[in-house]
């Protein structure tokens, strides 16, 4: 349960722009690891290889979310890229935090390199930010910015496919209704004057005896 302090306007503003801040910090963390890794390799430090590997992992996890609109628009949920994006989306928030904390442990072993310790602290800070991001939607909803229906994530990450399916079913029902109406109009006999006594002022076309 989120405390009442999140009803503060400054707190609401922070939560509303929290995700961009985390993404920017993540890109900065990746850049720091690239710099430390390249510098360590130039000094023949064995930890340089590890820093390069960690920098590659962080870059992959942070940059791929900039292509989220492309994945959701171009990839169907049953395709290979759709399944890949589902896995990547799952590795977010507290799961991402656990990965970053595990990667930062070895960085502290390179105690001779002060920049390695700084990079590890930056990575742990990023892990804390992702841990707090787990409660972002709950905090915004608690502040009254989102309704429960808007704040809750959908069961599927590809809601546009459900919309297309619903639209297709609606179009099918409309077409069926139009077809039934046309059949009913065709089945009506236009020459049956007795069906409408007012059409010929009540005079029947059949002779009466």
Which SS3 state, helix, strand or coil, does residue 3 take? Answer: coil
Summarize pLDDT for 87-104 with one digit per residue, the tens. Answer: 877 888 889 999 999 999
Looking at the predicted structure, is the pLDDT value of residue 153 above 50? no
**Local confidence band at 25 (pLDDT 50, 70, 90 cut-offs):** very high
The model's pTM: 0.60
| Whole-number Å distance between alpha carbons of 136 and 195 | 69
Domain spans of the chain, in order of start: 4-153, 156-187
Contact 146, 12 (CB under 8 A): no
Q: Which pLDDT score is estimated for 49?
A: 92
| Whole-number Å distance between alpha carbons of 118 and 108 | 9
């Amino acid at each position: 349960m989120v405390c009442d302090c999140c009803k503060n306007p400054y707190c609401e503003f922070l939560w509303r722009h929290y995700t961009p801040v985390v993404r920017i910090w993540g890109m900065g963390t990746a850049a720091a690891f690239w710099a430390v890794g390249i510098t360590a390799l130039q000094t023949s430090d064995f930890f340089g290889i590890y820093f390069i590997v960690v920098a590659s992992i962080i870059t992959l996890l942070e940059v791929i979310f900039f292509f989220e609109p492309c994945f959701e628009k171009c990839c169907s949920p049953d395709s290979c890229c759709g399944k890949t994006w589902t896995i990547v989306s799952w590795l977010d928030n507290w799961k991402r935090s656990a990965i970053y904390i595990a990667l930062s442990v070895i960085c502290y072993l390179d105690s001779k390199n002060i920049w390695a310790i700084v990079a590890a602290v930056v990575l742990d800070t990023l892990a804390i930010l992702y841990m707090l991001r787990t409660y972002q939607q709950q905090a915004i909803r608690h502040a009254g910015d989102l309704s429960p229906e808007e704040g809750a994530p959908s069961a599927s990450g590809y809601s546009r496919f459900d919309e297309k399916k619903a639209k297709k079913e609606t179009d099918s029902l409309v077409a069926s209704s139009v077809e039934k109406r046309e059949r009913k109009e065709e089945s009506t006999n236009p020459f049956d004057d007795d069906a409408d006594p007012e059409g010929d002022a009540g005079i029947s076309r059949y002779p009466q005896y």
